[in-house]
């Protein structure tokens, strides 16, 4: 393919400096340290710590999806966003449903 064609392609899609990526990277570092602080620094009860770090993880996953993976970028209908959200719904159903169902031992015991 013509490599001089490259310059024409989508330069206007891209800012001159990768701000999005740098902000995303810094935020992910901050969130990771945040989790670390909750585990080591805060002296909250363990249930609270777990809730906090799971929430931070969700935020961090969203950074990857939106800032790095361009989940919202689309040329035509945005089916991928719907599919990824549906995948998260199924994943949640599998994890939460299994925990709920497999707690059956406490009934049996």
Partner 1 sequence: MNPAVRHFILTFFPHNVLELGADGAIIMASLAIVFVLTYFKKWKWLWREYLTTVDHKKIGIMYIIAAITMLFRGGSDAILMRSQLAFPNEHFLSANHYDEIFTTHGTVMILFMAMPFVIGLFNVAVPLQIGARDVAFPYLNAISFWLFFVAALLFNLSFVVGGSPNAGWTSYTPLAGAHFDPGPGENYYLIALQITGIGTIATGVNFLVTILKMRAPGMTLMRMPMFTWSVLITSILIIFAFPVLAVDLALLLIDRLFGAHFFTISAGGMPMQWVNLFWIWGHPEVYIVILPLFGVFSEVVATFSRKRLFGYGAMVVSLLAISILSFVVWVHHFFTMGAGVGVNDFFGVSTMLIAVPTGVKMFNWLFTMWRGRVEFAMPMLWALAFIPTFLIGGLSGVMLAVAPADYQYHNSYFLVAHFHYVLVGGTVFGCFAGMYYWWPKMFGVKLDERTGRWAFWTWIVSFNVCFLPMFVVGLMGMTRRMYTYPAGLGWMPYNFVETIGAYGMAIGFVLMVYNIVYSIRKGERDLTGDPWDGRTLEWSTTSPAPEYNFAVTPVVHDRDEWWYQKYVDKSKKEKPVIRPIHMPNNSGRPITLAAGFGLAGFGFVFAWYVPAILGLLIVLICLGARSFELNTDHYIPVDVIERTEAAAGRL
Partner 2 sequence: MAYSMEADMEHDHHIDTSKPMEYSTEDGSLKIFGFWVFLGSDLVLFSCLFTMYILLFRNTAGSFTSQQLFDYPTFLSETFLLLTSSFTCGLATYSMRRGMKNATIAWLIVTVLLGLGFIGFEVSEFTKYVSMGATMHTSAFLSAFFTLVGTHGCHVSLGILWLTSIIIQVAMRGLNPVTTRKIFIAGLYWHFLDVAWIFIFTVVYFMGKVL
Q: Which spans of this chain sit near partner 1 (rule: CB under 8 A)?
A: 76-77, 79, 83, 86-87, 90, 93-94, 97-98, 100-104, 107-108
24 binds partner 2 (CB under 8 A): yes
CA–CA dist 108, 19 (Å, integer)? 56
Give whichever of 18 and 97 is closer to partner 1, judged by the CB atom.
97
Residue 4 near residue 10, CB atoms below 8 Å: no
Give the max Cα distance, the chain. 72
1 binds partner 2 (CB under 8 A): yes
Q: From the CB of 71, what's the least distance to partner 1, in Å? A: 16
- Binding site partner of 108, from partner 1, partner 2, none, Cβ cut-off 5-8 A by kind: partner 1
Q: From the CB of 72, what's the least distance to partner 2, in Å? A: 12
Residue 90 near residue 83, CB atoms below 8 Å: no
Given 41, 69, 106, 107, the residue binding partner 2 (CB under 8 A): 69
Of 72, 92, 91, nearest to 81 by C-alpha is 72
**First-residue to last-residue Cα distance in the chain:** 68
């Amino acid at each position: 393919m013509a490599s001089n064609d490259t310059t024409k392609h989508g330069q206007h899609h891209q800012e001159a400096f990768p701000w999005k990526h740098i902000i995303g990277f810094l935020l992910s570092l901050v969130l990771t340290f945040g989790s670390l602080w909750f585990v080591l620094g805060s002296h909250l009860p363990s249930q609270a710590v777990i809730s906090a770090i799971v929430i931070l993880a969700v935020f961090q996953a969203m950074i990857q999806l939106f800032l790095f993976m361009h989940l919202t970028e689309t040329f035509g209908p945005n089916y991928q966003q719907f599919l990824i959200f549906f995948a998260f719904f199924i994943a949640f159903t599998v994890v939460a449903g299994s925990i709920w169902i497999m707690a059956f031992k406490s009934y049996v015991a």
